[in-house]
Amino acid sequence: MKEDLALTVPGDENTPTEKHLAPEFESLLFPPSLSFVASSSSSSSLHEEAETDPREIDPRWRRRRHPNGGQAAGRRRRLRPVQPRLRPRHLLLHQTPLNTFIWNSMIRGLAHGSSPADAVALYNKMLAEGYSPNNYTFPFVLTACANLVDAAATPGLGLAVHGTLLRRGFEDFDPYIQTALVNFYANSGSIDTARHLFDRCRRRDVALWNALIRGYAQSCRFSEAVQVFRRMQDDSDRIRGDEITTLSVVSACAHLGALDLGRWIHSYIGKNQMRLTVNLGTALINMYAKCGEIEAAFSMFDEMPHKDVRTWSVMIGGLAIHGHAREALLLFTEMKTMGVTPDSVTFTGVLSACSHAGLVREGLRILEEMKTIHGVSPTIEHYGCAVDLLGRAGRLEKALELIKGIPMDLDVVLWGNLEMGEMAAKEMLQLDPQNAGALVFLSNAYASVGRWDKVEETRETMKERRIQKPPGSSSVEVGGIVHEFTSGDPSHPEMNQIYAMLDEISRLRSAQEPRHVAGAVSFDMDEEDKEQCLAQHSEKLALAFGLLKTRPGTTVRIIKNLRICEDCHSVMKLASEAFGRTVIVRDRARFHHFRRGSCSCGDYW
């Protein structure tokens, strides 16, 4: 039982071997004798019975045995990489004398390899055999728990380990254990607990900072990830970030659209002479693309000496969401010429490019070639791009034919891209009665033809099922700080000035479009109320704030969590012309570059 992990731990017994090798904790690897067994049974698990004597697997097993047993074996661990998927039964039977150090060695190899479940099971066996875990054991066990956060039992298991640590008094003085605890709670979704533990730590090294920053980023709490990084820079110990730090912060910048901070991180990498790895370079490309700087993304791509399929895919996807379809297709061709094999993510970007540009023939050809030439089976995302492509081109019958031929369960998004009225709505509800997007789509479809009785009926259905439409939110970066706005939320301290700017935009619009009708609101109300509602859309609030707080001529970059509505799209075009600004909006589907009254999407989104 999970509780046994905390209740059955014997008393501590630190061996001389472990005390002697404590400074080498970070560099420990398996001894060659253990590697021989590991390499012969890479697919076995902890719970399998031994079918072969390890001495029969490799004759060197006998010769490598050292008269000093565990101590000599432990010292030789640095000679060869850790091998995952060991046969611990073999090791326990043939490594003598056993001690806690050897147990730690095996648990570590499994925890950091591909067998964290076996590491946990081996820890339990260690307890059952009467051996005592020590302060070096627990970081490995917690690492295994952190790598198993998808397993239902893992959170309880980690809590049990934490309870053991509290009883033994290890939590407060051992930095490795503190880092492992923060990492475990962050990975298991308990980021607030991770933060509580972090704040209690007196000594903070880069590994501890990384655990918290990465945890916030993985929990989609990107603003807090950035805040912790800023605090790390202000820390009196002058902690210097490493690749893990920068990867997490760059990812947060990409999601927030925090271009200024992203640029600073890029400079930080150079100043600290950090090696530009494929992972780091790809993350920077993604950040620049998602912050609206596609030219900077392409420059970063060209500078990278080594690229893998992820690098090419991110660049192709970036070109696609910015509306550069032809460039994306050319890069796809170059990728294949360079001998890089495209994967599923690559094809999502290529098909998305075709969809945004209306390249029907190319898109359908690529969808067919995915499986026949490249051996990649199309997923629901690929079919979604193809259906979107056909729907935008007005080829609804072809789109319906494609949907019916898909060899998998339909996804709501496929029907959401077609303007097929009630048929599409009914299909969506049949697929997922609880899907908010499906019901919102149905409500909007009825509103677009003035069937307000049906709109009200749909809204009542949403209330009965306790379904809420996700609130619209938009953010804009000003002076290195990301400001977030929610539709209809008047809480911003400068809301009076924001509303004054919106009034100015409204007056300019009335002068240009005296017959403008606010038809984008999907419920029945008079025109004055519609205008008031539309004026509070989050992207308009972000636009007004950006215009107020940035110098004339500065580009305003807005990140929107939902698809931009037609009315807001028109306002962005107007503002770009009236104020002489470039306005870049990233919505749920793509980028819109507004310049001199026009949008890069060609009003096709």
User: In whole angstroms, what separates CA 69 from the centre of its chain?
Assistant: 45
Mean pLDDT of 526-540: 63
Residue identified by tokens 């095996």 is: 106
Count the alpha carbons within 13 Å of 595 in the hemisphere toward its beta carbon: 8
Q: How far is Cα 527 from Cα 3, in angstroms, rounded to an integer?
A: 63
> Which range has the worst mean pLDDT, 354-358, 416-420, 465-469?
416-420
Higher per-residue pLDDT: 171 or 565? 565
- Residue 64: the pLDDT is 40
Q: Are residues 423 and 546 in the same domain?
A: no
Question: Is 208 among the domain residues?
Answer: no
Q: Are residues 2 and 111 in the same domain?
A: yes
Q: Are residues 465 and 480 in the same domain?
A: no
Residue 594 buriedness (CB in 10 A; 0-12 / 13-18 / 19+): buried
Return the closest-CA partner of residue 585 out of 576, 519, 577, 297. 576
pLDDT in tens, 74-103: 444 433 434 444 454 445 545 556 788 888
pLDDT in tens, 391-439: 777 787 787 788 777 765 545 555 544 444 455 445 545 555 655 655 6
User: In whole angstroms, what separates CA 602 from the centre of its chain?
Assistant: 30
Over 80: is that where the pLDDT of 20 sits? no
Q: What percent of the chain has pLDDT over 90?
A: 42
- Residue 315: the pLDDT is 98
User: In whole angstroms, what separates CA 343 from the centre of its chain?
Assistant: 18
> Which range has the worst mean pLDDT, 54-63, 67-76, 117-126, 139-148?
54-63
Q: How far is Cα 138 from Cα 177, in angstroms, rounded to an integer?
A: 7
Over 90: is that where the pLDDT of 72 sits? no
Give the CA distances from residue 149 to residues 87, 188, 190, in Å, rounded to whole numbers and listed in that order.
Answer: 23, 5, 11
- Residue 467: the pLDDT is 66
Over 90: is that where the pLDDT of 491 sits? no
Over 60: is that where the pLDDT of 364 sits? yes
Mean pLDDT of 494-518: 82
Give the CA distances from residue 306 to residues 174, 272, 276, in Å, rounded to whole numbers and listed in that order.
Answer: 39, 20, 10
Q: Are residues 118 and 17 in the same domain?
A: yes
Q: What is the CA radius of gyration of the chain?
A: 29
- Residue 59: the pLDDT is 36
Higher per-residue pLDDT: 539 or 384? 539
Question: Is 414 among the domain residues?
Answer: no
Return the closest-CA partner of residue 582 out of 565, 600, 594, 570. 594
Q: Are residues 486 and 462 in the same domain?
A: no
pLDDT in tens, 564-591: 888 899 999 999 999 999 999 999 888 9
**Could you tell me the sign of the dihedral formed by the alpha carbons of 573, 577, 579, 580, in that order?**
positive
Q: Are residues 436 and 507 in the same domain?
A: no
Question: Is 78 among the domain residues?
Answer: yes
Q: Are residues 535 and 580 in the same domain?
A: yes
Question: Is 383 among the domain residues?
Answer: no
- Residue 237: the pLDDT is 67
Residue identified by tokens 């399998």 is: 48
- Residue 155: the pLDDT is 62
Q: Are residues 39 and 156 in the same domain?
A: yes
Mean pLDDT of 545-561: 94
Over 50: is that where the pLDDT of 213 sits? yes
Question: Is 369 among the domain residues?
Answer: no
- Residue 396: the pLDDT is 74
Higher per-residue pLDDT: 525 or 324? 324
**Which domain covers residue 29, as residue numbers?**
1-170
- Residue 306: the pLDDT is 94
- Given 108, 140, 170, the domain boundary residue is 170
Q: How far is Cα 596 from Cα 572, in angstroms, rounded to an integer?
A: 10
Over 80: is that where the pLDDT of 40 sits? no
Over 50: is that where the pLDDT of 7 sits? no
Asked if 183 contacts 146 with a C-beta cutoff of 8 angstroms, the reply is: yes
Higher per-residue pLDDT: 129 or 44? 129
Q: How far is Cα 287 from Cα 310, in angstroms, rounded to an integer?
A: 14
Return the closest-CA partner of residue 215 out of 260, 272, 207. 207
Q: Are residues 558 and 463 in the same domain?
A: no
Asked if 94 contacts 43 with a C-beta cutoff of 8 angstroms, the reply is: no
Structural domains counted in the chain: 3
Mean pLDDT of 469-498: 87
- Residue 394: the pLDDT is 77
Asked if 257 contacts 291 with a C-beta cutoff of 8 angstroms, the reply is: yes
The average confidence (pLDDT) of the chain is 77
Those residues with Cβ within 8 angstroms of residue 559's Cβ, 6 or more apart along the chain or in another chain: 256, 257, 474, 475, 476, 585, 586
- Given 170, 195, 210, the domain boundary residue is 170
Question: Is 130 among the domain residues?
Answer: yes
- Residue 255: the pLDDT is 94
Q: How many CB atoms within 10 Å of residue 4?
A: 12
Question: Is 15 among the domain residues?
Answer: yes
Return the closest-CA partner of residue 349 out of 335, 483, 1, 137. 335
Q: Are residues 8 and 137 in the same domain?
A: yes
Q: Does the predicted TM-score (pTM) go above 0.75? A: no
Residue 516: pLDDT band (50, 70, 90) is low
Question: Is 184 among the domain residues?
Answer: no
Q: Are residues 460 and 522 in the same domain?
A: no
Q: Are residues 62 and 140 in the same domain?
A: yes
- Given 403, 437, 469, the domain boundary residue is 469
- Residue 387: the pLDDT is 84
Strands (E), 185-334: none
- Residue 553: the pLDDT is 92
> Which range has the worst mean pLDDT, 24-33, 143-152, 408-417, 459-468?
24-33
Over 90: is that where the pLDDT of 249 sits? yes
